[in-house]
Chain A
Amino acid sequence: MSDQPLQGQVITSQLIASLAARTALETPGVLRLEPTIHGLLARLGPAALNNLRNPGSQNGTYRHDGVTATISDGTTHVHLDIATDITYAALNVAETVRERVRENIRHTALTPGPVDISILAIEHHHGTTHA
């Protein structure tokens, strides 16, 4: 038997960000996540080093293109910047994304907190014909 202790799996803010981003991108009507200057600078600045040293933690914030996730005392807070397909009502898309993200976070045993969504662009999907 190994003397190495078994390491517990920890749900990090990076994992929550990744889960939220994937969930959003799989929701019909979402074209992409939109990078913002805030997110980009966070990626290039000291926060980037922090992310490399400690890729998300159980009490911290993780930012990547278009998604920010924070875990505080077992409750998550997610912010998503999205672009939506013009053939869908953006508000309904945002609602669906929110419900799905919260549902998926519930599966991690953390408490889903607010999921803030910014619709930054509404565009035609490639292959969608103009009305």
Chain B
Amino acid sequence: MALEDIPLLGCGRHIDQLWATLHQPPTTHEQQCEQCKMARTSLQRLSEATRSLREQDLNDPALKPRPGITNAIMDVARAEIRRSKRIILGSTEEGTTEISEQALSALIRLAATAIPGVHSRRCHIEVRSSDPSPAGEDPRSRGTADAGPHLIINLRVAAAAGIDIPRTVQTLRQEISSAIPAGAGIRAEIINITVEDLYDV
């Protein structure tokens, strides 16, 4: 049996038991038992050799990953965090299409750069499933931009002091509602814009 394969000392103790408590002070039995004392001494040598080999490996330049590998992992990890959550645009038997929130935010920010007097800040995107087609209407006739999910965009901006804020925000809203279907092929249903700060021109 497997249990019988575990080496036993003459005093009946398992060697694994000694190994597990090697870094603790010896028990009264271990202080008096010759077999336990010998086994502890041997195991301490083994433990020291293991530690030394482990440290050797840690400092061995041949075993260190090339700097390029660490950088590559970090680059991809940072990019993955920036991409944030994924929004499902459509799913059929032929496959699913999803888009990262970062990709959509990039479109929105780019649209905002076209409007003088606003600087885009945080952008948060939510998704609402598309409404079912009205009775008798073929969903395919509604066009690509009307199919799939509708987006609710929450954009915070800083506006230049002295501009006509309502008019500028309305222009920005129109710019975004054109940019999203053009760039992503889906519709931005609601675009909430919060002017949270003013800046001097």
Q: Which residues from chain A sit less than 8 Å from chain B, CB to CB? A: 34-37, 40-41, 44, 78, 84, 86, 89-92, 94-95, 98, 102, 114-123, 130-131
- Fill in one digit per residue for B64-98: 1 if any A CB lies within 8 Å of its CB, else 0: 00000100110011011001001001100111111
Which residue of the partner chain, among B69, B96, B107, B113, contacts A116 with CB atoms under 8 Å? B96
**Contact across chains for A115 and B94 when beta carbons are under 8 A apart:** yes
Given A37-B76, A92-B144, A120 contacting B100 (CB threshold 8 A)? yes
B184 contacts chain A at the CB level, 8 A cutoff: yes
A118 cross-chain contacts in B, Cβ below 8 A: 86, 97-100
Partner of B183, one of A86, A98, A130: A86
Collect the chain A residues with CB atoms within 8 Å of residue B96's CB: 114, 116-117
Residues of B within 8 A of A78 (CB): 95
> Is B106 part of the binding interface, using a Cβ–Cβ cutoff of 8 Å?
yes
28 residue pairs of the A-B complex, CB under 8 angstroms, read A35-B76, A40-B72, A44-B69, A86-B106, A86-B107, A86-B183, A89-B182, A89-B184, A90-B99, A90-B103, A90-B183, A90-B185, A91-B99, A91-B186, A94-B89, A98-B97, A102-B94, A114-B95, A115-B95, A116-B95, A116-B97, A118-B100, A119-B98, A119-B103, A120-B100, A122-B184, A130-B113, A131-B114
Contacts A86-B110, A91-B89 given; indicate if A36 touches B186 (C-beta within 8 A): no
Dominant SS at the B interface? Answer: helix
Question: Which of A91, A116, A121 is within 8 Å of B83, CB to CB?
Answer: A121
Dominant secondary structure at the A interface: mixed
Q: Are A117 and B72 in contact (CB under 8 A)?
A: no
Q: Are the C-beta atoms of A119 and B100 separated by less than 8 Å?
A: yes
Judge whether B102 is part of the interface by a CB distance below 8 angstroms: yes
Contact of B106 among A41, A95, A123, A130 (CB under 8 A): A123
In the bound complex, residues from chain B placing their C-beta under 8 Å from that of A89 are 144, 181-185
Q: Which residues of B contact A95 (CB under 8 A)?
A: 97
A40-B73, A116-B98, A120-B83 are known; give 18 further A-B pairs, CB within 8 A: A36-B76, A37-B73, A78-B95, A89-B144, A89-B181, A90-B184, A91-B90, A92-B144, A98-B94, A98-B97, A115-B95, A116-B97, A117-B97, A118-B86, A118-B99, A118-B100, A121-B102, A122-B184
The distance in angstroms between the C-alpha atoms of A89 and B99, with both chains bound, is: 12
Enumerate chain A residues within 8 angstroms of B100, measured Cβ to Cβ: 118-121
B10 nearest CB across to chain A (Å): 43
Nearest chain A residue, comparing its CB with the CB of B105:
A122
A121 to chain B, nearest CB (A): 5
Which residues of chain A have C-beta atoms less than 8 A from B183's C-beta? Answer: 86, 89-90, 122
Interface residues of B in 39-81 (CB under 8 A from A): 69, 72-73, 76-77, 79-80
C-alpha gap A114/B91 in the complex (Å): 10
Known A-B contacts A37-B77, A91-B185, A114-B96; the reply to A120 vs B144 at CB < 8 A is no
